[in-house]
């Protein structure tokens, strides 16, 4: 793979690096980890990172997808292979499309090459490994972005997907300039206002009869505090984690742009990704998500999670 990857890059003068919409740290980390490495290696090529942005964006310049023409270009799509997670399908006009992802889903978008490793902790881990195998230099900007992706998708190296290789990659990135202390200060420090919002968030947590924790975040809650969907959906789901009696938890948040409901699903030990797949989503066995059209659908998701618990424990 590493020889072909370098050849594909060298065969194209224009390269676009994409990832899923509403990006988390792994999506940003993989995107800008690859972007800064390729810019360093090929200063004469036109290389851009494109997509939407949110409060996590601080890794480099982003181009709007609608501003790009893809014909003749090499395109990387990172951290998803699900069409429902994509901001646009316009990239399908590209000369070559390479998907790189670590989730359980099978691809339902056009591609020429699919690089998949479901054992990887993150797409950032995969990108770091590919860069090393392909003998690319990893500049400090790449190392910082990739390390952030590792931290984000492993929950500071707590989740089950964290392996010996994850720590080896983390050590390599630290040698290249990643600074965990400054990263953690940014990632885990927050204004007093946000801490108070999270306290109110938790007071609205409900529980099913099987003690699945869930929270429904409607437009009123988001607009009251001027919050975006990503901050509440992905950023607050684990306010329900770490409760001894809770085996699974779900965070349902309205998308202020589309009116649809973003669903983040989590489990301590029982795989739940098939539930997400039933509703057009996917992800990891214990951390996944989907998007649905109605609050009634979120109730169905909770029922499906409850049936999984019943099958496992009776």
Distance CA 64, CA 66 (A): 5
Q: What is the pLDDT of residues 250-272, one digit of tens each?
A: 999 999 989 999 999 999 999 99
pLDDT of res. 283: 86
CATH architecture of 2-187: Alpha-Beta Complex (3.90)
**Is the pLDDT score of 314 beyond 80?**
no
Residue spans of the domains in the chain: they are 2-187, 192-313
Which CATH number is associated with domain 192-313? Answer: 3.10.310.30
Q: Strand 261-267 vs strand 248-254: parallel, antiparallel, or unpaired?
A: antiparallel
pLDDT of res. 101: 96
**Is the pLDDT score of 124 beyond 80?**
yes
- At residue 209's C-alpha, the angle toward residues 203 and 212, to 5°, is 60
Whole-prediction pTM: 0.84
Q: What is the pLDDT of residues 80-105, one digit of tens each?
A: 998 888 999 999 999 999 999 999 88
pLDDT of res. 106: 87
Question: Distances from the Cα of 237 to the Cαs of 33, 184, 207, 209, in angstroms?
Answer: 26, 19, 14, 20
């Amino acid at each position: 793979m590493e020889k072909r990857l370098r050849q594909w890059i060298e065969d194209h003068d224009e390269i676009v690096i994409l990832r899923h919409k509403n990006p988390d740290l792994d999506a940003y980390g993989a995107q800008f980890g690859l972007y800064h490495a390729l810019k360093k290696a090929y200063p004469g090529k036109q290389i851009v990172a494109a997509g939407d942005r949110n409060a996590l964006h601080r890794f480099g310049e982003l181009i709007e997808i609608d501003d790009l023409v893809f014909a003749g270009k090499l395109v990387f799509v990172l951290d998803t292979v699900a069409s429902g997670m994509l901001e646009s399908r316009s990239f399908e006009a590209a000369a070559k499309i390479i998907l790189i992802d670590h989730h359980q889903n099978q691809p339902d978008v056009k591609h020429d090459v699919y690089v998949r490793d479901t054992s990887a902790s993150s797409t950032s881990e995969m990108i770091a490994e590919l860069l090393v195998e392909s003998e690319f230099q990893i500049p400090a900007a790449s190392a910082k972005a990739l390390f952030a992706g590792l931290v984000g998708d492993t929950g500071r190296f707590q989740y089950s997907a964290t392996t010996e290789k994850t720590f080896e990659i983390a050590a390599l990135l630290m040698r290249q300039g990643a600074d965990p202390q400054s990263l953690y200060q940014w990632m885990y420090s927050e204004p007093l206002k946000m801490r108070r919002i999270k306290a109110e968030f938790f007071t609205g947590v409900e529980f099913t009869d099987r003690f699945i924790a869930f929270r429904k975040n409607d437009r009123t809650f988001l607009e009251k505090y001027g919050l975006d969907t990503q901050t509440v959906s992905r950023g607050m789901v684990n306010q329900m984690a770490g409760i001894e009696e809770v085996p699974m938890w779900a965070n349902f948040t309205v998308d202020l742009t589309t009116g649809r409901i973003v669903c983040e699903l989590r489990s301590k030990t029982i795989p739940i990704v098939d539930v997400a797949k039933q509703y057009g989503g996917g992800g990891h066995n214990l951390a996944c998500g989907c998007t649905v059209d109605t609050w009634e659908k979120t109730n169905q998701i909770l029922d499906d999670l409850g049936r999984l618990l019943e099958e496992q424990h009776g």
